[in-house]
Structures are given as C-alpha cells and as structure tokens.
Amino acid sequence: MLGKSIAIGQFIPIESPIHRLDPRVKILISAILIVVLFIVKEWLSFLFIGSFIILLTITARIPISYIGKSLKPILFLLAFTLVLQVFFTPGDYIWEYGVLHVSREGLIRGLFIIVRLCLLILCTALLTLTTSPVELTDGLESLMSPFKKWGFPAHELAMMMTIAIRFIPTLMEEADRIIKAQQARGADFESGSLIQRAKNLIPLLVPLFINSFKRADDLAIAMESRCYRGGIGRSRLRILKLRKADILFLSITIIFITMVIFLSRFIW
C-alpha cells in the first residue's frame, strides 16, 4: 500500500521518551533542524545532524526501516535532481559522451542536495510519527497564539495544517485502491510515451479528486454536527505544560545545533 509506505502524516502510539515530550518542543526542534539543514554546507554537518535524527528515532522506538520507506515516493525526485546537477553543472568533466558531460562539481552538488532532502523528509516524518494529530494541532496553535492579538487565525491555521498532514497517507491509500481497481479493468499506467502515461492518469485523478472533495465534505459535516466553532471558548482535555524533561531536551538540542553551526563556520 502506498499509504503505508509514507511516514509523514502517520502516528505510531508507542510509549517512549520522545512521544512523551511536549508537542511544542518537538515542533520547535523539527523547525530548528530544518533551518540548520539549509544553513550548513559541509558533509560533516550532515553526518552529525543525521546521526542526531537516527538517535531520536531509536529513542522513540520507531523502526528505522519504517521511516526509510517514506523516501520511496520521492525517489524519482531525487534521481531527477541528481541528473540535473550532474549534467548541467559546469566544472571538471569526469565523463563525456557527445553532448553529455558529467562534472565532478555537479556530482558532489547533486549528492549534497539529495542528502539534504532525505534528512528533511526524515525529520518531518519523525515529528508526525511521534505526535498525534490532536497534540500537533494544540502545539501549533500554542506556538502561534501570541499573534492572535493582531487578528492572526492561529487555531484555524493549525487545524488546516494538521488535517492536511494527516490526510497524506489516507489519500495515498485511496490512490493505491483506485490504481488496482483501474488495472483490474485493463488500465495501463506504465507503458507508452510520456504523454500517453499522462493521459492514462486521468482515470486515476478524476475519482481521486472526487473522493477527496467528498471526504472533505463529510469531515466538515461531522465537525458541524458536533458544534465545532473554532478555538473561541473551546476547552481541552489536556493542557500543555512544559516539564523539566522538555526544557532539558530542548536545551540539549540547541547546544548540539549551536556546536554544529560553530564547527561548520570556523573549523570545518
């Protein structure tokens, strides 16, 4: 199933130190790691950050192979990025054939971008795997609540972001079922030219969009039937409170990231 091969949007209810962390702390840590991944430009920095993400994954008792499956949907994007960088980046050519030229700089840059994208996906997947949709919504709303005094719709935006992330695996499972149903009726999604393959996707995209709008309408009716009116006057079963473990974990992460940035700027 396509949905089961994607980690982003899924939640695994396991008892672990990472699962027990405050969702605001996990969101901040993920945001910090994502920003740092775009700042650093050294392989050693990626090695340290990747090791840190793997350590968090082990602490959360999430199978590393399970998170690795989330990279499958972007394999084409990774391969396409590598090809673009290898053949269109000028530099010292290490292989030539006609008009095709492979440069050393392009190969290094392509691998660098691929590693960065993989770490971004793993970091985001780890957040959703260890944080339930309700906690994710409450955490995002709490972090954006200071902007409410300027009319910023913190609760509505947090709800939309959480629902969008949550429905990624659901839509992929729906697409997988439609593909199998259309293939049983004789549809071919793999053979033919690129234009023909694009045309063959119409029997997939049309029912997928229809089901998506129907699912969104059912969700809206369910929320209205439960008298959902947004964040105004809404009570919560669990009130978010920072514990000593949350502050300690956030402090350790900030110290680690600061060390990586310092080493990348002045030593490496």
Report the percentage of the chain scoring pLDDT > 70. Answer: 88
Which range (50-54, 175-179, 249-253, 264-268) has the least confidence? 264-268
Domain interval for residue 112: 3-131+239-266
Give pLDDT, residue 181: 82
Asked whether residue 255 carries a pLDDT value surpassing 90, the answer given is yes
234 belongs to a structural domain? no
Mean pLDDT score across all residues of the chain: 81
Answer for the pair 135, 23: CB distance below 8 angstroms, yes or no.
Answer: yes
Does residue 6 have a pLDDT over 70?
no
Of 23 and 231, the structure prediction assigns the larger pLDDT to 23
Question: If DSSP codes are grouped into helix, strand and coil, which group holds residue 65?
Answer: helix
pLDDT of residue 29: 93
For the chain, the domain total comes to 1
Is residue 7 in a domain? Answer: yes
Considering only residues 169 and 57, tell me which one the structure prediction assigns the higher pLDDT: 57
Residue 256 pLDDT: 92
Q: Please tell me the predicted confidence (pLDDT) of residue 183.
A: 79
The strand ranges marked E within the chain are: 93-97, 100-103
* Residue 177 scores a pLDDT above 50: yes
Residue 3 in this model has a pLDDT that exceeds 70: no
Per-position b or e across 218-227, b if 16+ CB within 10 A of its CB: eeeeeeeeee
- The pLDDT of residue 30: 92
pLDDT the model gives residue 268: 62
In the chain, the percentage of residues whose pLDDT exceeds 90 is 16
What is the three-state SS of 220-263?
HHHHHHCCCECECCCCCCCCCCCCHHHHHHHHHHHHHHHHHHHH
* Residue the block writes with tokens 């960065």: 116
157 inside domain:
no
pLDDT category at 89 given cuts 50, 70, 90 is confident
**pTM of the predicted model as reported, rounded to 2 decimal places:** 0.75
Q: Tell me whether residue 254 is in a domain.
A: yes
pLDDT at 1: 46
Model confidence pLDDT, tens digit, residues 39-65: 888 888 899 999 999 899 889 988 777
